[in-house]
Structure 1
Amino acid sequence: MKKNLKKAAAFVVILTMLMSLGACGKSEDKKEDKKDSTNAVSDEDKTFTAALGVMPSNFDPTNLVGAGDMNASRTCYEPLVEEVRGTTELEPWLAESYEVPDAKTYIFKLREGVKFADGTDLNAEAVVYSYNRAMAFVSSISTLVQEIESVEATDDMTVTIKLKSDNSGFLYNVAKIGIISPTWCKENESDGDWAQAYCARHSCGTGAYQISGYEEDQYYTMEKFEDYWGGWKDNQIDTIQTLIVKDNATQIQMLNSGEVDKLQIPITENLDILEANENIDVLTEESLQTNIFTFNTKKAPFDNLLVRQAVTLAMDYEGVKDNVYNGKATVPSGFMPAKFAEHDDSIPQQSQNLEKAKELMEQSGVGECNISVHLCEGSDDQVQMAQILQANLAEIGITLEVKVMPWLSMVEENSSPDTAPELSALNMGAFTGDSVFFLKQNFHSMYSGQPYNWSFYENPKFDEAIDKATATVDEKEKQEYLNTAQNILVDDCAALYITSPDSVEAINNKYQGFKIHPLDYYYSIRFYQISIGE
């Protein structure tokens, strides 16, 4: 089977027509990219084809708004320190070494001989520019840098970052800040926008692969960066083609037939088909993810704790585990996944108790009511969870309307409790390896209305526990503060903690070196580590 860009595009066009999905736009330099990459994409073995459920809204490393964006951005742009694949550990990357003299000061010595895709050199100026650029945006990345007081070039290859307050977990944040070419950005700025418009659909990082072409809602391609500082071997991938396939069942069929090499969706069905295919490896790991429905605590009826408690007791958690995830999931004990070392094991698992739920609804005085839950398109598991909850809530006098919508629309409506629905779905994987940040990002009052505190949850006692856990370098103290924070979230029913699904991923087994990564959700692939087997 010949897998080249022309065939991939044609296939997606046909698939798109069948699914009534029209293309929204086209890359201006697509023809040039196609021409330049003819040799690479004509080699089947060196072309890796992936299926993705949604077109990334942005390739910009410091303007990401969804998990799909990370698939390309993490490949094109690299941080000072990097996550070791398959773990939450960190290792030096663009920084060859670093020092942390105190919890407010981080000093990075940069690696020599690293180039950006435009041919310019990595230096301290580029790092300072990238961090200043990140701090200029309001996005999910801005939450990682808003505690920075200053970023300075101590010399040409040394950067010092000072924080406003102690943060013992700041290195985990550093692993998420991709470094971009300042020369390239400045050449492509428009009205002082830090080149945001241009970066949305182009790339210029130090990463092993860079964006070479795309067609909206159909595909995008990345080609290997010949001058990548890590060097190249003959058995590595030259070209990455990512096809946008919004139907999960179609993705699975394409993997099974060999049309694609990797799925980037939660696999909850047809596992038997994939496991029976001798050309496919199906991998399973316990995850650092909790799927939740956020309660809009600023809007009736969920401004009432008794109603939140009733819904929490009404949910059929075992039904979700067995029917949505085929048993490959864990019923959560609060929000923090049990795989985190800092999880408080004394918290009992969520459990259904419809009779108690009915009693609490009666005590609340709310009576029968209508509410809605908004889900992200392309997330079949969210739809199934909502359908189970819909049946459960009918038992306690609550009518649930289910609405599927684009991710960006969900982000926009959840910027305010007035425009947000009563419930919103979030499949919350761990963004960083810092368990404190995992809790903080979703429930600290400083993130209310931002990604991802869509509960608009504001509790000073919770904030205090998280702030103290952030600042301390004493592990015992940190654990005590985290236990307090976890129990507050359970007591307040800050969200509906539904399930912690296992990470189940499938890949064509002619490619070696892929590891399930517990961070960045199920989209994270270190393509550079993948080699072509015998």
Structure 2
Amino acid sequence: MAFKLNPLVATLAAALALSAVSASAVTLRVGNQGDALSMDPHSLNESLQISVVENVYETLVTRDANFKLAPLLATSWKQTAPTVWRFELRKGVKFHDGTPFTADDVIFSYERAKGDGSDMKSYVGQFKEIKKINDHTIDIITNAPFPIVPELITHWAIMSKKWCEDNQATKPVDRRKGIENAASFRANGTGPFRVRERQPTVRTTFSRNGNYWGKIPGNVDEVIFSVIGNDATRVAAMMSGELDVMEPVPVQDVERLKANDKLKVLQGPELRAIFLGMDQKRDELLFSNVKGKNPFKDIRVRKAFYQAIDIETIKSRVMRGAATPLALMYPPQVNGYPADLAKRLPFDVEASKKLLAEAGYPNGFEVKMNCPNDRYVNDAEICQAVAANLAKVGVKINLEAETKGTYFPKILSRNTSFYMLGWTASTVDAHNVMYPILSTPGDGGRGQFNLGSYSNPKVDELTDKVASETDQKKRNEMIREAMKIHQDDVGHLPLHQQALNWAAKKNIELVQFPDNGMAWKFITVK
């Protein structure tokens, strides 16, 4: 049976063809449901954004094809004192504009990442200062002993001091305020790919960096990254051969793509927890019919919401089995996972109703729920299911699902009462959840993504102790204690760990990282 190309796919095909560099260039055509919202690597701590821009910008330390720590812009590192890490920087590296990479760029990038507008503060917030020893040696000095500094900085990108100064981009683009600058649309990294043409929310074209300092294992000369928000259109483009790689594969289409003898589907657990957060700070919610008080300050209400969610039905019907329900804020693959706390509160409609009545809401109440519709796997559908679940206990959810381009600025400025968020522990360690997500919001990126401002002083204290503890047994005990406190507080509502589903042509060799990162330098088109 012949496959009929629909008009939207035909339009995409024409656009992709126009973007080709030459007949001999090896082109990789990638389709995604969303876009990197900026080319500024310090502007948004979001996995797709990081995945895209890290092909252009580089970090001191990276993950290799086996997801193990590996040198990148730093050739080596060692702890010279309890609070001092010395990094030897790679010599002979140049930014795309030809400017040499030196220690000054690292120090500039540190100041930029910790400054106003940065969404990457939690990666450098543990640092007291960075000292320049010479042009290719620095010392990172931490506020307290911090044994996982190399793991922490695998997503802290280094920018050119000179380029940022010349282009009035010394401060990051603040996604909360909608401010843009030169770094939003152009880029000057040290990475294996350069930005050639940027059309936000439509398509961005990247070219191989012919002057790259290192060896690029793959053979891709250019990458055309296309945004195809409609699932059916994206799948049709993959099925017709107009795309080489796509992610995510809609869970309902996995088997259909697997059945295509020209395609393969790459699957695996992602290090991401999907959860719901609630404003627990304001005395009155911004978006609720309850006036004069905040229902989410009452643990009985938070627990009622938790027990109203039918997570198994969400898993089977919404996620088609491509999810693992969670009782904690990170999955078992993350260091410091307390397996004995892995049991969720039971789904119990009657218990939920009773809790709401005890809290003074026998007939429930109304609240707005903010949700993205193009960021996580079936995100809007999950929120719709949660809304339907809560309706059964008398809670009316006014669901506002929108593109992440407007969603993230809204919730990152805490302009929300009830929201969805996904979080990947980029260090593969529990501290990378405790510090940015569970800690009371404060300086240095502490609690930067704790958007409902959950707060428990004991969790904050344990977070600080976990950061500097080197005895793994003691450290795990402290992590467990903090997780138990947060769990008993019902600080957030954990939902599930989503599965990774990518599709690729069978002639494409690529590496699927568990944090959903896609490094184009590892891709080979046969």
Normalising by structure 2, we get a TM-score of 0.88
Per the alignment, residue 220 of structure 2 pairs with 237
Give CA deviations for 1:179-222 in whole Å, capped at 9, x if unaligned. Answer: 222222222126x6579711111111110001000223210111
Q: Give the conservation status (yes or no) of the 8 Å contact 2:327–2:495.
A: no
Q: What's the RMSD between the two structures over aligned residues? A: 2.6
Q: Give the conservation status (yes or no) of the 8 Å contact 1:8–1:243.
A: no
Give the distance between the partners of 2:34 and 2:191, measured in 1 at CA: 22
Q: How does 1:485-496 map to 2 (within 5 A)?
A: 485-496=482-493
Q: How does 1:33-48 map to 2 (within 5 A)?
A: 40-43=21-24, 46-48=26-28
Aligned length: 497
Q: Give the conservation status (yes or no) of the 8 Å contact 1:98–1:109.
A: yes
Per the alignment, residue 60 of structure 2 pairs with 80
**SS of residue matched to 1:241:** strand
The residue identity in structure 2 corresponding to 1:453 is N
Give the distance between the partners of 2:52 and 2:437, measured in 1 at CA: 24
The residue identity in structure 2 corresponding to 1:169 is I
Q: Does 1:203 align with 2:187?
A: yes
Normalising by structure 1, we get a TM-score of 0.87
Give CA deviations for 1:117-175 in whole Å, capped at 9, x if unaligned. Answer: 11122222222222222222433212211232221220121111111222222222221
The residue identity in structure 2 corresponding to 1:526 is A
Give the distance between the partners of 1:9 and 1:206, measured in 2 at CA: 34
Per the alignment, residue 28 of structure 1 pairs with none
Per the alignment, residue 296 of structure 2 pairs with 302
Q: Does 1:98 align with 2:95?
A: no
Runs of 5+ in structure 2 lacking a partner?
1-6, 174-179, 286-293
Give the distance between the partners of 2:373 and 2:386, measured in 1 at CA: 18
Q: Give the conservation status (yes or no) of the 8 Å contact 1:414–1:420.
A: yes
Give the distance between the partners of 2:486 and 2:367, measured in 1 at CA: 22
Q: How does 1:219-298 map to 2 (within 5 A)?
A: 219-232=203-216, 236-265=219-248, 267-298=250-281
Per the alignment, residue 471 of structure 1 pairs with 468
Q: Give the conservation status (yes or no) of the 8 Å contact 2:277–2:420.
A: yes
**SS of residue matched to 2:197:** strand
Q: How does 1:241-390 map to 2 (within 5 A)?
A: 241-265=224-248, 267-298=250-281, 299=285, 300-350=294-344, 351-367=346-362, 368-379=364-375, 381-390=378-387
**For residues 267 and 478 of structure 1, do their structure 2 counterparts lie closer, same or farther at Cα, with a shift above 3 Å needed?**
farther
Q: Does 1:446 align with 2:429?
A: no
**SS of residue matched to 2:339:** coil
**For residues 215 and 366 of structure 1, do their structure 2 counterparts lie closer, same or farther at Cα, with a shift above 3 Å needed?**
same
Give CA deviations for 1:320-348 in whole Å, capped at 9, x if unaligned. Answer: 11112211221112212122241111114
* Greater shift in the superposed pair: 350-359 or 456-465: 350-359
Once the two structures are TM-superposed, the CA of residue 450 in structure 1 deviates from its matched residue by 6.3
Q: Give the conservation status (yes or no) of the 8 Å contact 1:63–1:137.
A: no
**For residues 80 and 275 of structure 1, do their structure 2 counterparts lie closer, same or farther at Cα, with a shift above 3 Å needed?**
same
The residue identity in structure 1 corresponding to 2:347 is Q
Once the two structures are TM-superposed, the CA of residue 507 in structure 1 deviates from its matched residue by 1.6
Give the distance between the partners of 2:423 and 2:222, measured in 1 at CA: 30
The residue identity in structure 2 corresponding to 1:114 is V
Per the alignment, residue 22 of structure 1 pairs with none
Equivalent residue for 1:398, pick from 381, 390, 395: 395
**For residues 274 and 392 of structure 1, do their structure 2 counterparts lie closer, same or farther at Cα, with a shift above 3 Å needed?**
same
Give the distance between the partners of 2:514 and 2:245, measured in 1 at CA: 17
Runs of 5+ in structure 1 lacking a partner?
1-6, 16-33
Give CA deviations for 1:220-252 in whole Å, capped at 9, x if unaligned. Answer: 11100001112357x600000011111122212
**SS of residue matched to 1:186:** helix
Give CA deviations for 1:430-482 in whole Å, capped at 9, x if unaligned. Answer: 33323211232111103599642122111101111111111111111110110
* Greater shift in the superposed pair: 310-319 or 385-394: 385-394
Q: Give the conservation status (yes or no) of the 8 Å contact 1:336–1:439.
A: no
Once the two structures are TM-superposed, the CA of residue 78 in structure 1 deviates from its matched residue by 0.8
Once the two structures are TM-superposed, the CA of residue 13 in structure 1 deviates from its matched residue by 10
Give the distance between the partners of 2:201 and 2:426, measured in 1 at CA: 25
**For residues 285 and 151 of structure 1, do their structure 2 counterparts lie closer, same or farther at Cα, with a shift above 3 Å needed?**
same
Give CA deviations for 1:40-89 in whole Å, capped at 9, x if unaligned. Answer: 45346x110111222322111222253332232111011111023453x3
Once the two structures are TM-superposed, the CA of residue 101 in structure 1 deviates from its matched residue by 2.2
**For residues 324 and 9 of structure 1, do their structure 2 counterparts lie closer, same or farther at Cα, with a shift above 3 Å needed?**
closer
Q: Give the conservation status (yes or no) of the 8 Å contact 1:186–1:194.
A: no
